[in-house]
Amino acid sequence: MTTQISIRSNKNLVQKFDELAKETDRSRAYLINQAMEQYILREARQVAEIKKAIEEADAGDFATDEELAEIDAKRMHHAG
């Protein structure tokens, strides 16, 4: 089931969607829906990671000095 929405957008952005739609033989609506889906997936993943990090911090689950030293050593090894 689909729902129609109406948004205001930058004229240049709409033109870019139209150009891409023509080049890919897709509709503007299809491309905008694809873009919205990708945005939602990316943002939802980031929010979930942030929530997990906050829960770990609230639980006192921090890296030890030894773990941080190991991470630094690995970075130095890969950088060199």
Which range marks the domain in which residue 45 is found?
11-79
Asked whether residue 2 is domain-assigned, the answer is no
In the chain, the number of structural domains is 1
pLDDT tens by residue, 17-40? 999 999 999 999 999 999 999 999
Average pLDDT over residues 63-79: 83
Average pLDDT over residues 34-47: 97
Asked whether residue 54 is domain-assigned, the answer is yes
Question: Is residue 80 pLDDT above 90, yes or no?
Answer: no
Asked whether residue 73 is domain-assigned, the answer is yes
Query: Residue 8: exposed, middle, or buried by beta-carbon count in 10 A (0-12, 13-18, 19+)?
Result: exposed
